[in-house]
Amino acid sequence: MSSQPALSGVTFAGAGPGSADMLTLGVFRALQQADVVIHDRLVGAEVLDMIPASATRVDAGKEGFGPSTPQSAINALIVGHAGTGARVVRLKGGDPGIFGRLDEEIEALEAAGIPFTILPGLTSATVAAAAIGQSLTKRGRNRGVRIVTGHDIDGFADQDWKGLARAGEVAAIYMGKKASRFLQGRLMMHGASPDTPVTLVENASRPDQRIVRATLCTLADHAAGLTGPAILLYGIAPRAAVQALTDLNEATA
């Protein structure tokens, strides 16, 4: 295996949704070269275990509607460590460019004149779809897929409800667990069928991954029973073979 030169400045790295199997080789190499790793709360334990003991590890976690490190403080941490000449890895769960506040952190580095590199990661939408044996796009079903958030800095996030409510639409909804009743109401108000399939994947790729098959009318009730991070796959249900295996595992648990 060829070696790579040490990355200077700050490397924004996607840790994937949890499992070490979902980590890219580029991100693994960056971690091995890091002097400082600033990570969020969604980075899986298997990935955190790959951080060398010689590296300084900084937890800068955020939680929707819960305790969080302010973004300004995270920006200051990144700039402060990088300003000493340290090789800093900003490790984010999933992909840093999808609801990861990447632009805000890049802007802080640009203002300080600090170089950066971006290493994408596998995002929960594609990993969760694979877990249920489905693709996010399918000929004859949907010509596109929407990636949306359940909430933003102003609270529950408004979307193009009329467009999403059309038959055949598919969306990956991040941070939608606590917004599930809001999502349910808005979509049905705009004409979505109550029978529209929605699959909830909790702790995608991790050992405690859980797949819950729901419909739009049962979405909020199912979401209320989840405790871990979850992504909602709106418009697609688990493939029959995956659902049968899931049912069997739950019955024997």
Residue 63 has pLDDT above 70, yes or no: no
d(C-alpha 233, C-alpha 170), whole Å = 7
Q: What is the pLDDT of residue 242?
A: 74
Residues annotated as catalytic are 40, 62
Model confidence, pTM: 0.88
Q: What is the pLDDT of residue 69?
A: 86
DSSP character for 243?
Answer: H
Helices (H), 3-65: 25-33, 45-48
End-to-end CA distance of the chain: 41
Average pLDDT over residues 118-146: 95
Strand pairing class (151-152; 155-156): antiparallel
Q: What is the pLDDT of residue 113?
A: 96
Handedness of CA 92, 67, 60, 29 (dihedral sign): negative
Average pLDDT, the chain: 91
Per-residue pLDDT band at 244 (split at 50, 70, 90): low
Beta bridge partners of 212: 200
Residue 4 has pLDDT above 70, yes or no: no
Domains and CATH numbers, the chain: 10-119 (3.40.1010.10), 124-252 (3.30.950.10)
Percent pLDDT > 90 in the chain is 83
